[in-house]
Structure 1
Amino acid sequence: MRVLVTNDDGVDSPGVHALARVARDGGHQVVLAAPHTERSGASASLTVLADDGRLVVHERRVEGLEGVRVLAVEATPGFIAFTAGRGAFGEPPELVLSGINRGPNTGYAILHSGTVGAALTAATQGIAGLAVSLDTERREPHWETAAQVAARALAWFAPLAATGAATPPGGHPPVLNVNVPDVPPEELRGLRAAELARVGAVQAVVGEVGEGYVTVTFDTPPLPDEPDGDAVLVRRGWATATLVRVPSRAAGDLTGLVDG
């Protein structure tokens, strides 16, 4: 299966290298195309640094990724997924993997995630996406735990992507969002289906509002009372999996607004 691997931490991140190895070792044809620098929080934005109107792409060699074409792209992960679907890095992928992100992507805050944004962008083009994140702030996290969960998720998800079994008639393919706690493999409690939490793992707090400035800090909120929410489960040692879809028309009565 043709697989594009990307992320928002940048092409030099150990997490994206680990995810590319998972895909390669799973027997897939892999291209790693990731931002040349960190683009966290980019959501699905389509911004790009152009040189005379050209997307700038640098070939890289990464030890341990033999057989994988590695590209540093001067663009956001959403733009990379968008252009990959149009043949920018070879034949369009059949599946987009995004991550392994350093830090969780849980709850409704996935709206702002460049990691999830790349997968959602792929889905708008009819390409299934898998996003993987590791809940860590440590210098040397347990990438191997996230890689093991990613391999399990990929083995389950790739056949669905190949057959379109999870895609509703006339709709977009799903995105599988996976989050992993930063624990050794033997301490992982397992992998569970999860709801999106009302809040993510990180919350913005507006502080002082002054003349011409506002101070904003980011803090870890207390655990919400959501036993099946992804944020709670990850902090309790579970890896989580949640199927999400691209924005679609919501049901609702527009009487009084529209004509007819």
Structure 2
Amino acid sequence: MNILLTNDDGIYADGISAMYQALRQKGHEVVVVAPDSERSAVGHAITVSDPLKVAFVDVEARIRGYAIKGTPADCVKLAVNALLERKPDLVISGINRGANTGYHIIYSGTVSAATEASMFGLTAIAVSLDVSLRKSGAIDYNYAAQFATRLCDVVAQHGGLPEGTLLNVNVPGGDPQQIKGVRICKQARFHQADEYEKRVDPFERIYYWPKLEQVRVTNPPEVEVDYRLLKAGFIVVTPIQYDLTDYKMISQLQQWTIKL
């Protein structure tokens, strides 16, 4: 297959390198178009007031492709409309360092890149590895890359995905031998407690440093959702869409009296 590969951790990140190598080893043609530096948690932001500078990167035996001074969504837009000679068969975003489950997918640049691809009518998969952002040392992305590569083949065998739908994939970050299986499930609902530590700089100016948020899943215990299943040791695959319309509410609103 002809695959467009991007991410939000930047073109030099270990996750995208592992994904690139796994796809190439399986014989896929891979074009990398990724941010030139980390763009985590930028959501679906696009650049409108600055030029999108492009540089070709070739790190021998690791990765080669286009480094874009822009967001993950920028990378997909620029790739599809300017850089690629032909339309890709599949777009993969990742492998992200850290999970993207529940409400976090709204903030995720990884998921947003895949969403942008689906908006072009392309089959897209976002892939994340559940490891702590505070973890030091090397992280092994190989198992996640191999699984994502196999999933690409499964998706292709079934003729792709419905228009407007993408797959959000999260892989446990521990020992691959401990992974219990693969589950298809819905996105979790979160109650999030954001905390900010108040500090003062040497010039006595106040600033705030965000702490890692505390997450509590609000779905009933019997409901299988991505966050819980991932923490329980399963690979989770969630089909998601970019259409945010509340269709049930439309009929209710039509009964309201809303005047000019």
Is the pair's TM-score, using the shorter chain for normalization, greater than 0.5? yes
Match of 1:204 in 2: 194
1:70-89 mapped onto 2 (5 Å cutoff): 70-89=65-84
Q: 1:124 aligns with which of 119, 127, 140?
A: 119
1:219-238 mapped onto 2 (5 Å cutoff): 219-222=213-216, 225=221, 228-238=224-234
Q: TM-score, normalised on structure 1? A: 0.83
The aligned length equals 246
Gaps of 5+ in 2: none
Gaps of 5+ in 1: none
1:157-168 mapped onto 2 (5 Å cutoff): 157-160=155-158, 163-164=159-160, 166-167=161-162
Q: TM-score, normalised on structure 2? A: 0.83
Match of 1:194 in 2: 185
Match of 1:241 in 2: 237
Give the aligned residue type for 1:84: A
Q: 1:119, CA displacement in angstroms? A: 0.2
Q: What SS does the aligned partner of 1:149 have?
A: helix
1:1-260 mapped onto 2 (5 Å cutoff): 1-47=1-47, 50=50, 53=51, 55-65=52-62, 69-137=64-132, 138=135, 139-160=137-158, 163-164=159-160, 166-167=161-162, 172-199=163-190, 204-206=194-196, 216-222=210-216, 225=221, 228-251=224-247, 252-253=250-251, 254-255=253-254, 256=256
Residue 11 of structure 1 contacts residue 35 of structure 1 at CA under 8 Å; is this kept in 2?
yes
Q: What SS does the aligned partner of 1:86 have?
A: helix
Q: 1:118, CA displacement in angstroms? A: 0.2
* CA distance in structure 1 between the aligned counterparts of 2:61 and 2:222, rounded to whole angstroms: 40
**Over alpha carbons, which structure has the higher Rg?**
2
Give the aligned residue type for 1:103: G
Q: 1:179, CA displacement in angstroms? A: 0.4
Closer/same/farther in 2, CA of residues 159 and 109 from structure 1, 3 Å limit: same
